[in-house]
Amino acid sequence: MCDWCMKHGAGKKWYMNAKNYSDQLAKDLNLEDYLTEQWMNFETVFIRKIMGLSSIGLGYKLKMPIIGRVIRRVVEGMIHKEETKKRNPMRADGHFGQVIPLEDGKIILSELAAEPIIENYCMCRWMQRGKKEAVCINFGILSEIIEKLPRFIPKNRVVRIDREEAMQRLEEHNKKGYIASVWFQPVPYICAICSCESPECGGLRLRNNFDLNVVYKAEYIIQLDQDKCEGCKACVSMCQFSAIRYIPSIDRVIIDYDKCFGCGICRHACKNDALRLIPREEYPGFDGKY
């Protein structure tokens, strides 16, 4: 379990704690205005200047001596921010996420997520790839806020979905190769399960390109049963993190465990049941490495 679980999990994983999804929490934290402001301006978060600096050219800025280190601290501090009073919606304070396997996503959707549940257009794919694809599942008060923003709402179909449908959709997205992730928005309120791809996803971008820890790897890690692998390579193309490689001389795949986010997507491709997820803490070298 990670530091978020210690603080917000009540003995469980942070995203398995029902309290973090409740309307009451959203009310107590006064989140309606905060989330409305944030979502009205979502595409501008990376370009707004905060303390004189925006994220434009972040890769170069981070390489600058001293200033780079300061920026790193500020960005990570923002995303991890817990003080509710000083949070700024324009810079996505407290919008921290974690990759989850399909199974955990289904538990969230079946019993924890607050209603109404909606499926709306992914804003990252829209602002970074120009694609509108309805793969983001949102809950509770955030659903009602997003419904007021026409650019995120598919026109020709029902946006509100029930728990069964939500689980089904998440499974479809997952099997297609999209990585499920769950988000604080802001800490400790949880109101979204996304189905991401990289490099479109803003959160994975900050992590993969700039090593900013705004999204954690899953509580799980993949395990390969070497005897079962027949070297068909089907799993290789599924992994968004380049963690699987085919090695001709041994005619099987190998895993780069450092790169594995534990999303479990590769499992969908394997006909031989050679890939399964194990809890990260059961793998001594990777326990605690989120």
Partner 1 sequence: MSKTKIIIDYSKCGENGKVDPRDCHKCLEVCDPCVFLMHEALGYKEEDPYNPQHWRITPVWPSVCTRCFYCVKACPEKAIKISW
Which residues of this chain interact with ligand SF4, rule CB under 6 A?
122-125, 135-136, 194-196, 200-203, 222, 229-235, 238-239, 241, 243-244, 252-253, 255, 260-266, 269-270, 272, 274-275
Half-sphere exposure of 269 (CA within 13 A, CB side): 19
Partner that binds at residue 274, options partner 1, ligand SF4, none, CB closer than 5 to 8 Å by kind = ligand SF4
57 binds partner 1 (CB under 8 A): yes
Name the residue nearer to ligand SF4 (CB basis): 71 or 214: 214
Contact present, 243 and 259 (Cβ < 8 Å): yes
DSSP 171-207: HHHHHHTPEEEEEESSTT-EEEEEEE-TTT-HHHHHH
Partner that binds at residue 55, options ligand SF4, partner 1, none, CB closer than 5 to 8 Å by kind = partner 1
Nearest approach, Cβ of 108 to ligand SF4 (angstroms)?
15
Distance between CA 193 and CA 136 in Å, rounded?
6
Nearest approach, Cβ of 250 to partner 1 (angstroms)?
31
Name the residue nearer to partner 1 (CB basis): 129 or 245: 129
Name the residue nearer to ligand SF4 (CB basis): 116 or 231: 231
55 binds partner 1 (CB under 8 A): yes
Nearest approach, Cβ of 179 to ligand SF4 (angstroms)?
7
Instruction: Please report, for residues 83, 106, 130, 263, the alpha-carbon distance to residue 200 in angstroms, rounded to integers and kept in the order given.
Output: 29, 24, 10, 17
209 binds partner 1 (CB under 8 A): yes
Nearest approach, Cβ of 71 to partner 1 (angstroms)?
13
Nearest approach, Cβ of 62 to partner 1 (angstroms)?
8
Q: x/- site string to partner 1, residues 134 to 163, per CB under 8 A? A: --------------xxxx------------
Which of 203, 178, 270 lies closest to 46 in space, CA to CA? Answer: 203
Residue type, 198: S
- Residue 169 dihedral angles phi and psi, to the nearest 5°: -65, -45
Instruction: Please report, for residues 53, 84, 186, 257, the alpha-carbon distance to residue 88 in angstroms, rounded to integers and kept in the order given.
Output: 15, 9, 10, 36
Distance between CA 119 and CA 142 in Å, rounded?
11
Nearest approach, Cβ of 128 to partner 1 (angstroms)?
4
User: What DSSP element (H or E) covers 260?
Assistant: none
Instruction: Using DSSP bridges, classify how beta strands 220-224 and 134-138 pair: parallel, antiparallel or unpaired.
Output: unpaired
What residues form DSSP beta bridges with 276?
223
Name the residue nearer to ligand SF4 (CB basis): 54 or 70: 54
46 binds partner 1 (CB under 8 A): yes
Which region among 12-20, 50-58, 66-74, 275-283 touches partner 1 (by CB under 8 A)? 50-58
Token couple for 162: 């029930």
Partner that binds at residue 70, options ligand SF4, partner 1, none, CB closer than 5 to 8 Å by kind = none
Across the chain, the runs of DSSP E, i.e. the strands, are: 97-99, 117-121, 134-138, 160-161, 179-184, 190-196, 215-216, 220-224, 244-247, 252-255, 275-279
Name the residue nearer to ligand SF4 (CB basis): 62 or 244: 244
Binding site for partner 1 (CB under 8 A): 40-41, 43-44, 46-48, 55-60, 126-131, 148-151, 199-200, 205, 209
